[in-house]
A and B are shown apart, each in its own frame.
Chain A
Amino acid sequence: EAQVTQNPRYLITVTGKKLTVTCSQNMNHEYMSWYRQDPGLGLRQIYYSMNVEVTDKGDVPEGYKVSRKEKRNFPLILESPSPNQTSLYFCASSLAGTGGYEQYFGPGTRLTVT
């Protein structure tokens, strides 16, 4: 089944404790991206990757890191999480970018930073 998976689905952590949210797709997609969703703010793009070893910042990249060492995986790293990073995070992938391509979303990761 074609899908985007994220782990963990729920995470409660404390300020400053490094964490990684994994994202994996099995569709051989070139493009992957991360979003955060907050009430009243909608979805905002954090980072995206056009292909292996090629990443770029979205609208809200501060406090986040990403890497794309393999085509299928695009982990999101919070090296020193803060409470303002409490949010619902989504990973998405598509064949090649956003220009006219359907985005496939993962189920989401709900992160709480205390």
Chain B
Amino acid sequence: SQQGEEDPQALSIQEGENATMNCSYKTSINNLQWYRQNSGRGLVHLILIRSNEREKHSGRLRVTLDTSKKSSSLLITASRAADTASYFCATDGDSGYALNFGKGTSLLVTP
């Protein structure tokens, strides 16, 4: 079942600007992950945040998680043209064996 919903569906910014994508989900989770997909290629794991964490950083990426609002955000700072891709959030539940992806945010970074 599709649990996460990313917002916005599409985002266009210029190099150097920050990009923020949001993910909302419906039921309680243990973990939330963010993935990047370059056009038609396999997904690449970016960051994982656990339900007891509120914020996590990895390089130019910052992820927040608000379990009370059932939402997460991914911030990419100082974006580059190479960041152009689709970004997906994925949530897991109690089973530990199913991963539910949102429909993704398509990010375009122009030089």
**Are A and B physically bound partners?**
yes
The interface of chain A, by Cβ under 8 A from chain B, is 4, 31, 33, 35, 40-45, 48, 50, 56, 58-59, 88, 90, 92, 97-100, 102-108, 110
Number of interface residues of B (CB under 8 A): 26
Question: A110 to chain B: which residues have CB within 8 Å?
Answer: 40
| CA of A90 to CA of B41, assembled, Å | 9
A-B contacts at CB below 8 angstroms, number: 73
Contact of A42 with B41 in the complex, beta carbons under 8 Å: no
B45 in complex: contacting residue of A40, A58, A103, CB < 8 Å: A103
Most chain-A CB neighbours within 10 Å: which of B43, B88, B99?
B99
| A99-B42 CB under 8 A given contacts A41-B103, A44-B2 | no
Please indicate the chain B residues that have their CB under 8 angstroms from the CB of A48 in the complex: 97-98
Q: Which chain A residue lies CB-closest to B5? A: A42
Complex: A1 Cα to B50 Cα, angstroms:
28
Q: Are B42's CB and A107's CB within 8 A?
A: yes
A93 CB, nearest partner CB in chain B, Å: 11
Tell me the smallest distance from the CB of B107 to a CB of chain A, in Å.
Answer: 15
Q: Is the CB of A42 within 8 A of B31?
A: no
Assess whether A43 is in contact with B45, with CB atoms less than 8 Å apart: no
Known contacts A102-B48, A105-B43, A42 near B102 by CB under 8 Å:
yes
